[in-house]
């Protein structure tokens, strides 16, 4: 199915209700049962809930003929990169995860989720639907036996929890921080010590002082995990996750085995989950942030000096990777060109409007 044609139809269908856009199911359509492993625990109901939304919409649209059973991280497969590995190995038919957990295999995996100083949710959607993003990433994942469908976004995340203030670049020296992927490599250039720690182990690690800082998602999820009880300072923004996308991955073998109607329904269900997740986070984060601040959390913006240093380190890292990884360079060059135009537009309209509305209050 041609990507842009499908997405235009998907957008139109969602505007009037996903159910009205669903293809008609033939009476002899097969009964199919798949397993989906999430990279997230059930306690993080919004990001984990994206997979449940996909499964619910698919079942509704097929009259229950296409069933997707969702498993939380740790139930049949651990979280993190293990979810994607389970699909490529054939252990499960599909997963719901962030591809940048697998940057150790190839840093190009990061572009499907987020890269430091990358695009926002809406900019990513534009790159995927009307730029070359969808085509480039579909080609990349095909090389790994995967079919990718965007199915969620958290929006701009928070910059994490710190046991001490970050006032200057030198404060990053020796900082032990729970952060992975390309962001960890950027911070390592500035003397930090990135730590790969599962979500469930962050709280005790912060509490014991095993780490000095940790990033997760944003106010709603961070409050659930209680990070404010063991770290006082809450920084923003997460320059490494300006619009991290969560994706449904299906093995190409299983994708090819689906009837065309089921393929279309799964794509539409993921499109609905994509919008649903972002809307939920936008609705839930404001109150959670108010509650955190009311309980004593100290909000802090990263100093410009720190952001500038991280930006330079990120660009240095991209140049190094591009010099030895032609696939990464191909995607990166297109990504940055598209982002440059997006930033110009958002600065003129969205940025000026948002800044005025904030100051007016």
Q: What is the pLDDT of residue 21?
A: 54
Contacts of 124 (CB under 8 A, 6+ apart): 118, 133, 153, 243, 245
* pLDDT for position 254: 97
**Which mean pLDDT values do the consecutive 10-residue runs of the chain (361 residues) have?**
46 44 70 97 95 98 97 92 95 97 96 98 98 98 98 98 98 96 96 88 94 97 95 98 98 97 98 98 98 98 98 98 98 98 95 94 80
Q: How far is CA 41 from CA 199, 248, 285, in A?
A: 9, 16, 19
Contact 217, 202 (CB under 8 A): no
Structure tokens at 262: 């089921």
Ramachandran region, residue 300 (left: φ > 0; alpha: ψ -120 to 50; beta: rest): beta
pTM for this structure?
0.91
Spatial contact of 159 and 239, defined as CB atoms under 8 Å apart: yes
CA angle 150, 153, 154 (to 5 degrees): 165
- Reported as half-sphere exposure (CB side, CA atoms, 13 A), residue 208 has a value of 6
Domains in the chain: boundaries: 9-155+243-282
Where do the DSSP E strands lie in the chain?
32-38, 66-71, 94-97, 146-153, 160-162, 176-178, 193-195, 213-214, 233-236, 245-251, 298-301
Of 118, 117, 82, 86, residue with least CA distance to 101: 82
Task: Residue count of the chain, please give it.
Answer: 361
List phi, psi (to 5°) of 15.
Answer: -65, -30
> What's the fold here for domain 9-155+243-282?
D-Maltodextrin-Binding Protein; domain 2 (3.40.190)
Q: Which pLDDT value is given to residue 200?
A: 77
Q: What is the pLDDT, as a whole number, of residue 24?
A: 64
Tokens of 15: 């505007």
How many Cα atoms occupy the beta-carbon half-sphere of 37 within 13 Å?
Answer: 23
User: Which distant-in-sequence residues (6+ apart) come within 8 Å of 93 by Cβ?
Assistant: 34, 35, 36, 87, 250, 251, 254
d(CA 143, CA 176): 35
Q: How far is CA 320 from CA 56, 181, 185, 239, 309, in A?
A: 44, 15, 12, 20, 17
Is-contact 118 244, C-beta < 8 A? no
Of 169, 164, 115, which is closest to residue 303 (Cα–Cα)? 169
Phi, psi of 186 (to 5 degrees): -65, -50
Q: Are strands 245-251 and 146-153 parallel, antiparallel or unpaired?
A: antiparallel
Cβ–Cβ under 8 Å, residues 96 and 36:
yes
């Amino acid at each position: 199915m041609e990507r842009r044609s499908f997405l235009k139809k998907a957008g139109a269908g969602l505007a009037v209700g996903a159910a009205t856009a669903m293809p008609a199911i033939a009476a002899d359509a097969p009964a199919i049962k798949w397993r989906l492993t999430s990279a997230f625990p059930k306690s993080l109901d919004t990001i984990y809930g994206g997979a449940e939304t996909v499964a619910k919409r698919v079942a509704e649209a097929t009259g229950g003929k296409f069933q997707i059973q969702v498993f939380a991280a740790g139930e049949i497969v651990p979280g993190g990169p293990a979810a994607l590995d389970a699909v490529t190995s054939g252990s499960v038919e599909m997963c719901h995860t962030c591809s940048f957990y697998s940057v150790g295999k190839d840093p190009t995996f990061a572009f499907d989720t987020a890269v430091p100083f990358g695009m926002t949710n809406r900019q990513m959607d534009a790159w995927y639907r009307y730029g070359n993003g969808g085509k480039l990433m579909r080609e990349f994942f095909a090389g790994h036996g995967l079919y990718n469908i965007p199915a969620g976004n958290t929006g701009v995340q928070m910059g994490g929890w710190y046991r001490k203030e970050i006032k200057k670049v030198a404060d990053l020296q020796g900082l032990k921080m729970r952060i992975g992927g390309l962001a960890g490599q950027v911070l390592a250039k500035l003397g930090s010590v990135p730590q790969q720690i599962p979500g469930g182990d962050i709280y005790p690690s912060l509490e014991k002082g095993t780490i000095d800082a940790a990033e997760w998602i944003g106010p709603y999820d961070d409050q659930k995990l209680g990070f404010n009880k063991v770290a006082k300072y809450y920084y923003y923004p997460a320059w490494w996750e300006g619009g991290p996308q969560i994706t449904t991955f299906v093995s190409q073998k299983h994708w090819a085995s689906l009837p065309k109607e089921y393929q279309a329904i799964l794509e539409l269900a993921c499109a609905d989950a994509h919008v649903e997740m972002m809307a939920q986070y936008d609705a839930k984060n404001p109150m959670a942030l108010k509650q955190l601040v009311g309980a004593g959390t100290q909000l802090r913006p990263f100093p410009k000096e720190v952001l500038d240093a991280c930006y330079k380190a990120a660009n240095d890292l991209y140049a190094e990777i591009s010099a030895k990884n032609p696939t990464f360079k191909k995607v990166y060059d297109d990504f940055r060109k598209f982002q440059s135009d997006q930033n110009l537009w958002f600065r003129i309209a969205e940025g000026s409007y948002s800044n005025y509305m904030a100051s007016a209050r």
